Amino acid sequence: MLAAMTKSGNVNFFAMLPDELTQFVGGWGWPSYRAGQIYQWVYQKLVANPREMLNLSKLDRQTLDDRISFAIGTVTQHQSSSDGTQKILVMWEEDGAMAESVIIPDGPRRTACISSQVGCPVGCKFCASGVGGVKQSLSADRIVQQIFLLNKILAAKNEHITNVVFMGMGEPLANYASVMQAVRILHDPKCFNIGARKITISTVGVPTKMRELANENLPLNLAISLHAPSESLRKQLIPWAEHFALEDILEAARYYFEQTGREITLEYILLQDVNDKPEHARQLAAVCKTLRANVNLIRYNEVNGLPFIRPRAEAVMRFQMILRENGVNAHVRKSRGRDIDAACGQLRRNEKLAQITIAKSIET
């Protein structure tokens, strides 16, 4: 069992798969159907307080409350964009950790962009998530709680999360065990019942873990945050690139496709006059010809204090045209939530800066 333990020694419910909970409460002499009742309350009715699970006896509710933790993080900030995007900042009072989650509406789909770590170890030069490095990896229950909290928000309109992308704060493959436990909970029919093909793992590229993911027997989508078509430029933009050669990452991507049949998505953030020139597009097209991949082009969302600029629209269109002329399936991702700083890490960074400012004012 991978369930996280709280400081009081209780098992955390949100890290448990149904079979694990059935086994756990079976040790108390409870019938197996009792676990099913609990899962209905939490994942269908969005009730995470045992005392409100009214088809359990008063004694059983007390036992459940005493022995299993249903604690969830607190939404300390909730922002809504004019385009329907919503962003929350979740804090866990136990240790003060904070992570961001986003709801992206698109027709009938409600996609959750969730975090796997507090901060990020990758340190992309253009990203707010990695400013200050990584503070900790999120446990499986804290990853799952983000979806629970987003569903609570959507419930007001009788909606729920339909798709999940691990594209928030952190490098998911650097927190592999917790991420995979969370994925299984998201996918399980008794939990969120989200199809594996509707879950995307986004990585900067960790070849050994990409191969491990390929052998999980889950047809998850794999996205690689490439952002540069050459080894030299990639190392300038992504410090972690020093650890993993681009060719090793591409070879692991080819293996992933062979094992799963799922085409790889290459994520490419366009930075004005850095990686958005025609020669970069031609280099990227050459990379794409070595594997089954499509390309998501993303116009940079500016981050205060970082020196990068959002590219001009004509440069983006020219970049896409060159890729398509070379037979690459390339799309420009629609910018969402620009009026609420929806890019990864910005809300947490702003909160941290505010806390520092308050602390300094108290000192003086």
Per-block mean pLDDT, blocks of 10 residues, the chain (364 long): 54 95 95 95 97 96 96 96 94 95 96 96 84 90 98 97 96 97 97 97 97 97 97 93 93 98 97 97 97 96 89 96 98 78 55 44 47
Stretch(es) of the chain classified as CATH 1.10.150.530: 11-69
Catalytic residue among 113, 191, 288, 344: 344
For residue 2, the model assigns a pLDDT of 44
Determine whether 344 is an active site residue: yes
Q: What is the C-alpha separation between 293 and 323, in angstroms, rounded?
A: 12
Task: State the span(s) of the chain assigned CATH 3.20.20.70.
Answer: 74-355
**CATH class, 11-69 region:** mainly alpha
Q: Give me the CATH code for the 74-355 domain, please.
A: 3.20.20.70
**Residue whose C-alpha is closest to residue 111's, from 162, 151, 63:** 162
191 is catalytic: no
Catalytic pick among 93, 94, 100, 251:
100
What's the rounded Cα separation, in Å, for the pair 233 and 236? 5
pTM score: 0.90
Cβ-contact 351, 131 below 8 angstroms: no
Count CA atoms within 13 Å of residue 103 on its CB side.
29
Looking at residue 265, what is its pLDDT? 98
